[in-house]
């Protein structure tokens, strides 16, 4: 049975992540929002700590993925493990600054992909690498099955050709996990992910983008032109299994979508706490023992936003708990991501409205800008709702578009 109280053993991790967020992230948050494309060198001191927490199997506070071992699959009973710990740590760090978390070395979304689908040999070989994830292309956004970047086997290498956009940490990371198709005629089943290391001939960082939010994090456009990648860098099996279809590479999202939901939870909590402080200083009391309609209008609105936050928070914990307990969580991961992404945008904007914090003197202005990407990347609000509908109604992607 699921218990959505925070496990006692996660207390130390949460405290460490909170201290890092409060003492390092918050003080430099506005600095790197203004200095876009400047690497936050203050983050280097945390890299070793997070590496150690993640490699211990108990999860860290970063965005790295979680691997399920054979022994874990056989384990009996309720488990609060690495997925839940990473989610809890991510919430705390993003309470500090989501853009800075996305800038953490070796905590990229590509690391989650490697953790999810790599073989044991690949996992060891790519250990310590900072990996970005490259999926989106100029010709498509949310439809990951529309990948047109090609990978052609030539001797001991795959030759990649194509262009990727909106790649988080695409310039700074050591490598990029690139989605490409082995055979366009075979559809989704032919899409595989490849680890392409920086410096590989034919791999070019075209430019970095100027963005609305998460400005501490770099977002790049990448081009692959006859880029030769060792065939051992194809993650998982090279076989095209039309029965299994797209499940192999899509498994990555079951790990990363709860993480993005956790990022949204962290930003939403930060906005609510700051708003509560400002309202209290203005003499507006928020009373949890009285009906909302008998309180100040601002207090009633705050209570509504806080309830929305709580529901997103619980959905996020549920999706992580299910992964720890060997339960398929694709539906719950999409539900959490959809709810948290939508909620954080409304919460952040409403908090700006309630407080009038529309200038750079308040971090509420920044959080309102940071929030929107959390409703977009790793699958937009619309695609998450579509996935949820398919799962609930038992429809395939061809039946419900």
Predicted pLDDT at 82: 84
Predicted pLDDT at 315: 97
What mean pLDDT is predicted for residues 375-393?
Answer: 94
What mean pLDDT is predicted for residues 50-75?
Answer: 51
Tokens of 25: 């992230």
Name all domains of the chain by residue range, CATH numbers in brackets: 8-125 (1.10.540), 131-233 (2.40.110.10), 247-393 (1.20.140.10)
Cα of first residue to Cα of last residue in the chain, in angstroms, is 34
Nearest to 296 by CA among 280, 272, 273: 280
Torsion of CA 125, 130, 133, 138, to 10 degrees: -120
Backbone φ, ψ for residue 379 (5° rounding): 105, 120
Tokens of 119: 């073989």
pLDDT tops 50 at residue 70? no
CA–CA dist 22, 31 (Å, integer) = 15
Among the ranges 74-88, 186-200, 246-260, 331-345, which has the highest mean pLDDT value? 331-345
**204, β-bridge pairs:** 223
Choosing from 281, 346, 378, 399, the catalytic residue is 378
| Residue-wise pLDDT tens digits, 96-148 | 999 999 998 887 788 888 887 889 999 999 988 999 999 999 998 777 778 99
Predicted pLDDT at 73: 47
Tell me the average pLDDT of the chain.
89
More confident residue, 263 or 3: 263
The model's pTM: 0.92
Contact (Cβ atoms closer than 8 angstroms) between residue 267 and residue 374:
yes
Predicted pLDDT at 287: 97
Q: Is 121 labeled as catalytic in the residue annotation?
A: no
| Residue-wise pLDDT tens digits, 15-44 | 989 999 999 999 999 999 999 999 998 888
Nearest to 59 by CA among 25, 100, 89: 89
Nearest to 89 by CA among 173, 9, 204, 151: 9
DSSP assignment of 68-90: PPHHHHH--S----HHHHHHHHH
The band of 7, judged by pLDDT with boundaries at 50, 70 and 90, is: confident
More confident residue, 206 or 63: 206
Backbone φ, ψ for residue 327 (5° rounding): -110, 135
Predicted pLDDT at 63: 47
pLDDT tops 60 at residue 377? yes
CA–CA dist 256, 366 (Å, integer) = 24
The band of 248, judged by pLDDT with boundaries at 50, 70 and 90, is: low
For residue 179, the 8-state DSSP code is E
Predicted pLDDT at 245: 52
The band of 303, judged by pLDDT with boundaries at 50, 70 and 90, is: very high
- Output the furthest CA–CA distance in the chain (Å, rounded): 74
Buried b (16+ CB within 10 A) or exposed e, 314-338: ebbbbbbbbbbbeeebbbbbbbbbb
For residue 21, the 8-state DSSP code is I
CA distances from 195 to 131, 208, 306 (A): 8, 20, 41
What mean pLDDT is predicted for residues 9-19?
Answer: 92
Number of residues that this document lists for the chain: 401
| Residue-wise pLDDT tens digits, 157-188 | 999 999 999 999 999 999 999 999 999 898 88
For residue 397, the 8-state DSSP code is T
Predicted pLDDT at 255: 78
Percent with pLDDT over 90 in the chain: 69
Contact (Cβ atoms closer than 8 angstroms) between residue 197 and residue 130:
no
């Amino acid at each position: 049975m699921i218990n959505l109280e925070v496990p006692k053993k996660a207390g130390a991790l949460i405290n460490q992540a909170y201290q890092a967020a409060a003492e390092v992230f918050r003080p430099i948050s506005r600095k790197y929002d203004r200095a876009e494309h400047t690497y936050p060198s203050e983050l280097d001191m945390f890299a070793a700590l997070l590496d150690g927490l993640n490699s211990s199997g108990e999860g860290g506070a970063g965005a790295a993925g979680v691997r399920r071992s054979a022994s874990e699959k056989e384990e009996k009973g309720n488990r609060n493990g690495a997925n839940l710990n990473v989610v809890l740590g991510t919430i705390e760090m993003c309470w500090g600054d989501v853009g800075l978390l996305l800038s953490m070395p070796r905590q990229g979304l590509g690391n989650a992909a490697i953790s999810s689908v790599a073989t044991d040999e690949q996992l060891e070989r790519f250990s310590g690498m900072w990996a970005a994830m490259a999926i989106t292309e100029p010709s498509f956004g949310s439809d990951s099955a529309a990948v047109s970047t090609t990978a052609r086997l030539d001797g001991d290498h795959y030759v990649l050709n194509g262009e990727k956009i909106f790649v988080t940490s695409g310039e700074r990371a050591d490598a990029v996990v690139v989605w490409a198709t082995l055979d366009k005629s075979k559809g989704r089943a032919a899409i595989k992910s490849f680890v392409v290391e920086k410096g590989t001939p034919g791999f070019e960082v075209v430019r970095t983008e100027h963005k609305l939010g998460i400005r501490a994090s770099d977002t790049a456009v990448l081009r692959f032109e006859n880029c030769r990648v060792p065939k051992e860098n194809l993650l998982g099996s090279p076989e095209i299994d039309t029965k299994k279809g797209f499940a192999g590479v899509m498994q990555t999202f079951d790990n990363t979508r709860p993480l993005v939901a956790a990022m949204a939870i962290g930003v939403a909590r930060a906005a609510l706490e700051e708003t509560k402080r400002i309202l209290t200083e203005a003499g507006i009391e928020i009373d949890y023992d009285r009906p909302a309609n008998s309180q100040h209008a601002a207090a009633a609105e705050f209570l509504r936003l806080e309830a929305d936050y709580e529901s997103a928070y619980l959905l996020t914990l549920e999706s992580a708990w299910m992964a720890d307990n060997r339960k398929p969580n694709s539906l719950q991961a999409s539900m959490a991501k959809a709810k948290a992404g939508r909620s954080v945008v409304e919460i952040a904007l409403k908090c700006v409205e309630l407080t009038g914090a529309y200038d750079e003197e308040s971090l509420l202005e920044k959080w309102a800008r940071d929030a929107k990407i959390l409703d977009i990347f790793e699958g937009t609000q619309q695609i998450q709702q579509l996935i949820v509908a398919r799962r609930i109604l038992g429809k395939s992607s061809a039946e419900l578009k």
